[in-house]
Chains A and B, each alone.
Chain A
Amino acid sequence: MAGHSATEKILALRSGKKEVFPGDIVVCDVDGVFVHSPWFFLSYWKEIGGVKRCFDPDKLILGLGHHVCLPADNRYANDLLEARKAAKKYGFKHLYDMGTGNGHIIMLEKGHVRSGYVYVGADSHSTIYGALGAFGTPTSYEVAEILLSGKAWFKVPPTVRVTMEAQPMKGVCARDVAQYVLGTVGADGALMKSIDFSGSYIHSLSVYQRMIFSLLAVEMGAITGFIEPDEITRKFMDGRVRNPYEIVYNDPDCVFEKEWFVDVSKIEPMIACPPRPALTERVADIEKKDIKVHQAYIGGCTGSSVEDFEMAAEILRGRTIHPDTRLIIVPGTQDILKEMQRKGLIEFFTELGAIISPPYCGPCQLCCYGHLGEEEVMIGTHPRNQPGRAGVNGGIYLASPYTVAASAVCGKITDPRRFL
């Protein structure tokens, strides 16, 4: 009998079962719930009526500062007011308000996620918790019920695996590798599965860079994006998490439903073309189309870490932003902003004439600012470019900080290797 995947083992541990198999229905204790827009679950609670409290006010994390750094209209300001009142009423312990930044990154940075436990979120990128070897999945509408019961049901998913070896060439980074993987696996290549990222490459990355893979797992259809913890994971969690973590590994004889093997050294700068994140091309090919960019955005859950801004600075040093392009810099969190400040990156981008925003998730979805005019094109390090998000005709391209920076210099989509 083959061994179990880490996902199966975590779901067994948290549902009190000796072992579980793909297809089993389990009900797990939930160790944390992330919500950025509590007005949804609060309205469902109103419909249910008689809500005394949530299952554990220490396990709900409210990232009010995720979609907006400040409200851009009165309706949003009033929604935030209601959220703060509810937090006081129900005693929610963790409220990250205006300017605190991207909620997905905060969940990890502030120690709300630990290896071996189960997390849910009212946002699709709740697959990110897998970057710390936890089981994390989006449950959206259902969060209202999970907050009352403290438990969530799952159909145990089969696990598929992507193994990445070697190191990338100059000008290629984790975002490119993740985009390549997304293009290879496809928009539904991991549908309803747990996707496991392994290999020497992923274990050479910082938690900030490896989280890109867990985040993009949802764009592959996966319900979670798991990375086996290592020393880097432990070092990240130590000093942050409030309770002990439990490292869970895939059994050595575990059989994955499907496997992909990637030689990272062969990957070139990659780009996602509109209208889908999985529409993957080489930047070198798209560059030939001479696509002008009006807005270049470095930020978002997949591109707002200190390392991302350092990569952009590498390209921009000694150069200028194209006069027809706006370069927007959105640090992921306050901790990231402070580190950027210490490293002189804020001064650097200010001198350059970039537009520096307070931390939040940025113009990935237009909840705040950064709207585009008709026919304008944006290139960004964020994860999504579908119709109905930003509602533009020009199109949204997704790429690495190197590529976005190079495109900001030339005013059009540009292969960053020209500058390195």
Chain B
Amino acid sequence: MNTIIRGKVWTFGDNVNSESIMATGTDFDPEKAAKTSLSHYDKEFPTKVKPGDIIVAGRNFGCSSSRPAARALKFLGVAAILCESSGAIFYRNTWNIGVPILECPGITKMFSKGDEAEVDVSTGFIKNLTTGSTAQAEKPIPLLLERWAAGGMIEWVKSRRDQYDTLK
């Protein structure tokens, strides 16, 4: 499986809360949530983001509420999130939704908005294709890579249906 992702970078700071990615009232509607996603921090983002783009963010990205905010980002086609650190719930949710999120201290110093990034999700190796600099993110655990390879948690469950006595 090809685990390398390349895309244009959008940058965000620290403590970007999940409610700003998916506003209250849009929890059940990724399309509606996408219309205002992250607009509190970057007004251009919801309308100018393209499928395949990559988010580079600071500390505690996706903190606060446990809503599945990455569904809005998946709807917009965000291919990966690289951050200094992630909110704990957001981290689990986002992998399960099928969007890889990798933690890499120092990442914000490495990228500017509009740069081209490349990340190998299975190894955590990151490259700024615009400047040439590289970094090593924490390697995601096999359990999460397995779910991502299946296309997210739901697809993963479907692919191993016979392991559940609660499923037909």
Taking the complex as formed, is B143 at the interface, i.e. its CB lies under 8 A from any CB of chain A?
yes
Asked if residues A47 and B154 are in contact (CB atoms below 8 Å), the reply is: yes
Q: Which of B4-12, B13-21, B45-53 contacts A (4 or more CB under 8 A)?
A: B13-21
Residue of B nearest to A27 (CB): B143
Chain B stretch 14-58: residues in CB contact (< 8 A) with chain A:
14-15, 17, 19-20, 22-25, 27-28, 40
Across the interface, which residues of A come within 8 angstroms of B112, CB to CB?
none
Across the interface, which residues of B come within 8 angstroms of A58, CB to CB?
none
Residue of A nearest to B144 (CB): A153
Chain B stretch 141-158: residues in CB contact (< 8 A) with chain A:
141, 143, 153-154, 157-158
Contact with B along A65-86 (1 / 0, CB 8 A): 0000000000000000000000
The complex places the Cα of A221 from the Cα of B87 at a distance, in Å, of: 6
The complex places the Cα of A320 from the Cα of B96 at a distance, in Å, of: 51
Taking the complex as formed, is B135 at the interface, i.e. its CB lies under 8 A from any CB of chain A?
no
Contact residues on A (Cβ < 8 Å of other chain), bracket? 35 or more
Asked if residues A391 and B24 are in contact (CB atoms below 8 Å), the reply is: yes
Given known A-B contacts A25-B141, A148-B157, A221-B88, A141 and B19 have beta carbons under 8 A apart: no
Asked if residues B66 and A122 are in contact (CB atoms below 8 Å), the reply is: yes
Given known A-B contacts A48-B167, A51-B166, A223-B88, A388 and B66 have beta carbons under 8 A apart: no
Please give the distance in Å from B12's CB to the nearest CB on chain A.
13
Asked if residues A50 and B87 are in contact (CB atoms below 8 Å), the reply is: no
Taking the complex as formed, is A155 at the interface, i.e. its CB lies under 8 A from any CB of chain B?
yes
Across the interface, which residues of A come within 8 angstroms of B22, CB to CB?
388
Asked if residues A145 and B66 are in contact (CB atoms below 8 Å), the reply is: no
Please give the distance in Å from A183's CB to the nearest CB on chain B.
14
Taking the complex as formed, is A241 at the interface, i.e. its CB lies under 8 A from any CB of chain B?
no
Given known A-B contacts A144-B153, A187-B63, A386 and B167 have beta carbons under 8 A apart: no
Residue of A nearest to B20 (CB): A388
> Residues of B at under 8 Å CB distance from A?
14-15, 17, 19-20, 22-25, 27-28, 40, 59-60, 63-68, 85, 87-89, 91-93, 96-97, 141, 143, 153-154, 157-158, 161, 164, 166-168
Q: What are 13 A-B contacts defined by CB distance under 8 Å?
A: A40-B27, A47-B154, A48-B154, A140-B67, A141-B68, A141-B92, A149-B164, A149-B166, A188-B15, A367-B24, A386-B20, A388-B20, A389-B65
